[in-house]
Amino acid sequence: MPVLQLPADVADVLRSFYTCEVTTVNRQGQPMTWPTLTYFDEPNGQMFFAVSIAFPVKAQNARRHPQVSLLYSDPTGSQLADPPAVLVQGEAVVADVLDLFEPRWTALTRLATQRQPDSSAFTSNKIARRLFDWYLFKRIGITVTPTRILVWPGRDFSRTPQIVEVAHVEQ
Amino acid sequence: MWNSKLAARIKDYSSAVLTVVDETTGYPMSVRCIPQMDATREVFTIPDAPPFAAGWRGKACLLFHTHNERLEGLRQLVVKGELTEENGVLALKVSEFVTANGRSDTDAMPHASAPLHLLQFLLLGRRKARAYLAKRGAPWPPIPYAEVDRALAEDARKK
């Protein structure tokens, strides 16, 4: 049984949307939102993503201000029929160094290759890999544990969102 | 500060993601909406704002982004500002345009089809990574390329 109990259509969105819009909050209280490829770690009921050390702002913000959000509102490529939009608010934990053999990172890189098939020519090129080591390998992992989930059926934001109780089931 | 070149790119987008921070909980809140740009006043208005966002005020941002079904054609741009209300309509007074590519003239992400842009991004990334490591005060662990290769080969075999 998954740790996080979610309606099937919401879980589908978290699994299938190519990107979500991740927001962190900087020192000045300014929200910054960027599209991000995330992995839904279903066994642990968490979302996982990683940022390059060259562009560490999300990680630095989340260390100071762990309350973050992930909006899943763009279904392009997901092949889901009329999915809802989903806003996940949660607490972020930021690692110091990404373990390249961590199963969640392996799963995320696999997802990236599936969703962006043209990237494999780049990532399999040994020279490109060395030149872009700061982008491909020198990364900081960020794990988000949901605390509140809002859902807009049909991605209709003119409606009042439904609140999904975040029930973490102990295993 | 208003950026006319980046503002011109926004005309291609049909919607954007509006975000503020809930001052009570500290959590960010986002909705997708259809902003209208007023370049003369350097403001984005949101006439049909989602009801969920009706009372939002304060520091906010609008994210414009797009990709195709192969996760190519990536473009992304954030507009920062102060969210206020003008005659019953939400309005973002712009303070800054921010790109993720280190450039102030385009929101297109680097791609092999634009080698000069990719080279500029490479140099930018290496410079910023060096700065991060200098501030961190400790080197990054060596990349185990042989193990990475083995893992990639194993993955390819499983396909």
Right CATH for A8-164 from 2.30.110.10, 3.30.230.10, 3.20.20.70, 3.40.430.10: 2.30.110.10
pLDDT exceeds cutoff 70 at A1: no
Domain extent listing, chain A? 8-164
Structure-token pair, residue B108: 């297109």
Which CATH number belongs to the domain containing residue B103 in this structure? 2.30.110.10
Q: How far is Cα A26 from Cα A68, in angstroms, rounded to an integer? A: 11
Which range, of B54-58, B66-70, B115-119, B139-143, averages the lowest pLDDT?
B115-119
Nearest chain A CA: its distance from B40 CA (Å): 24
Position with higher pLDDT, A122 vs A140: A140
The tens digit of pLDDT for each residue in A125-149 reads 889 999 999 999 999 999 999 999 9
Q: Which of A62, A57, A142 is nearest to A108 (CA)?
A: A142
Examine the domain organization and report whether B91 and B72 are in the same domain.
yes
User: Best mutation site among A52, A67, A71, A125 for testing chain B: the one with the most B CBs within 10 Å?
Assistant: A71
Examine the domain organization and report whether B36 and B88 are in the same domain.
yes
Q: What integer pLDDT is reported at residue B123 of this predicted model?
A: 96
Q: Which residues of A touch B152 (CB under 8 A)?
A: 124
Examine the domain organization and report whether B96 and B133 are in the same domain.
no
Name the residue among B17, B122, B124 with its Cβ closest to that of A71.
Answer: B17
Quote the domain boundaries for residue B143.
111-159
Position with higher pLDDT, A78 vs B150: A78
Max CA-CA distance within chain A?
51
Binning pLDDT at 50, 70 and 90, where does residue A31 land? very high
Looking at the DSSP assignment, which residues form a beta bridge with residue A152? A85
Examine the domain organization and report whether B22 and B97 are in the same domain.
yes
Q: What is the pTM of this model?
A: 0.95
Share of chain B above pLDDT 70, in %: 99
Cα distances from B98 to residues A64, B24, B50, B129, B152, in angstroms, run 21, 27, 24, 19, 35
pLDDT exceeds cutoff 70 at A170: no
Q: How far is Cα A158 from Cα B55, in angstroms, rounded to an integer? A: 14
Q: Which of B67, B87, B109 is the last residue of a domain?
A: B109
Three-state SS string across chain B, please?
CCCHHHHHHHHHCCCEEEEEECCCCCCEEEEEECCEEECCCCEEEECCCCHHHCCCCEEEEEEEEECCCCCCCCEEEEEEEEEEEECCEEEEEEEEEEECCCCCCCCECCCCCCHHHHHHHHHHHHHHHHHHHHHHCCCCCCCCHHHHHHHHHHHHHHC
Q: How far is Cα B134 from Cα B137, in angstroms, rounded to an integer? A: 5
pLDDT exceeds cutoff 60 at A171: no
Q: What integer pLDDT is reported at residue B67 of this predicted model?
A: 94
Share of chain B above pLDDT 90, in %: 84
Q: What integer pLDDT is reported at residue A169 of this predicted model?
A: 63
Q: Which of B70, B148, B63, B143 is nearest to A36 (CA)?
A: B63
Examine the domain organization and report whether B116 and B105 are in the same domain.
no
Q: How far is Cα B7 from Cα A94, in angstroms, rounded to an integer? A: 34
What's the average model confidence in pLDDT over B27-34? 98
The tens digit of pLDDT for each residue in B97-153 reads 999 998 999 999 988 788 899 999 999 999 999 999 999 999 999 999 999 888 878
Residue B8, sorted as left (phi over 0), alpha (psi -120 to 50) or beta, turns out to be alpha
What's the average model confidence in pLDDT over A85-93? 98
Binning pLDDT at 50, 70 and 90, where does residue A165 land? confident
B115 lies within 8 A of chain A by CB? no
Examine the domain organization and report whether B36 and B86 are in the same domain.
yes
Q: What integer pLDDT is reported at residue B155 of this predicted model?
A: 76
Q: Which of B101, B145, B98 is nearest to B123 (CA)?
A: B101
Q: What integer pLDDT is reported at residue A2 of this predicted model?
A: 66
User: Reading across the β-sheet that carries B16-21, which strands appear in turn?
Assistant: B28-33, B16-21, B58-66, B75-86, B89-99, B43-46, B36-38
Q: What integer pLDDT is reported at residue B113 of this predicted model?
A: 81
Number of separate domains in chain B: 2
A133 lies within 8 A of chain B by CB? yes
Examine the domain organization and report whether B72 and B133 are in the same domain.
no
**Contact between B29 and A160 using a beta-carbon 8 Å cutoff:** no
Examine the domain organization and report whether B26 and B65 are in the same domain.
yes
For residue B119, give every residue at least 6 positions away whose Cβ sits within 8 Å of its Cβ, in sequence order, or none: none
Name the residue among A23, A77, A160 with its Cβ closest to that of B28.
Answer: A23
Examine the domain organization and report whether B117 and B46 are in the same domain.
no
